[in-house]
Structure 1
Amino acid sequence: MSATTLIGRDTEIDQLESWLLKDEHRLVTIAGPGGIGKTRLAAELQEQWPDASHWIPLDDAHLSGASVMSRIGQTLELPECPRPEWHSRLDTLLRSPTLLVLDCFEQVRDQAPAVAELLKLHPQISVVVTSRAPLLLSQERLLTLEPLNLNESVKLLMTRAQAVRPDLEVSAQNKTLVENLCRRLDGIPLA
């Protein structure tokens, strides 16, 4: 999913893995403002389940009128059918533990009950949600991302800038400027 290096989120990855694997929480929401790294963190987590996970993008779902369930069905190539049959087909397709990553859930936040239904009917499924706000479901574990510290923020900003201008470096001449920029962005350099 991602071609970039994750910077400054080792503790969060460890926490997510612990909740999903050790504590067996089946619904985890990664929350925070835009640009803080929710999607990138979820992509890193998904890489731990390369053969047992599916990425469900919801960033344009509000525009297309797609429901969460229909978007899951599209991603998994399930045909449209009545809901009981759809759930039966999903069980047939996903027989072993599976992780679904629902990215940009804030676009369809009113559909949180569909996630609760999915978890109730399919015990083999775990869900990681990225959203600017929690789903407010009883079974939800919430990881609210904090801004990066100054060093991590500078590193992330420079890594992204060097993708466009490989010759760009932090130097004695621009170090203060780069640090001030990261401070002004409150530790969210991609905001």
Structure 2
Amino acid sequence: MVTLRPRKAKEEAAAPAAKKGSTVKHNKKKAPAKPKPQPSATEAGDDSSLQEFLTTKVPDESKHEDITWLYHAIQTRAPDCPPELQGTATLAFGGFDYETKSKCSGRWSRMSIMVNKTGLTFMVSGMKDGKYLLEHFDKKQIGRKVSLGKSCIRFASLETVHRSVLEEIIQAAAEATISPVATSSSS
């Protein structure tokens, strides 16, 4: 004997309409895996985040020297900006939590190094005199063959960038105002 049970409203809404005589298969989708939180460099040791970033996220060894120079320049000029791995190809410095006026929240950083196919992107967050920090610098002042946005510098190699100007930008980013809606935190 077969016992029938009535369908619940949720099951009826989720079940597709079946043709007479056909068998209905229910596809159960698995929930996507939640990303594992990345340890900050201060938890794991001084240069461990750099080494992990280089070995796991940067297969192109020609970029290792440029990333290492940027990493040490940031650590020297902005010691209060601890490094942490973010996402798939980002090494962030000086992470902070933020909340917008519309109550959206998240995590961002003062500076970050991102790897892309053509080179590196150096992101800089911060404001000075009501303008984005990088708006105070001219493209020619930063270097040749660079692409300059409101908060990022893209370049193929550090050979095309004036390192002294990058050091000045790093120092300014460490001292810059983030935003009135950001709440600083380094965890």
Answer yes or no: same fold by TM over 0.5. Answer: no
Larger strand share, 1 or 2: 2
Q: TM-score, normalised by structure 2?
A: 0.27
Flag the structure with more relative contact order, 1 or 2, with Cα contacts below 8 A and sequence separation at least 6.
Answer: 1
Higher helix share: 1
Q: Given the two structures, how large is their TM-score scaled by the length of structure 1?
A: 0.27
The structure that has the greater radius of gyration is: 2
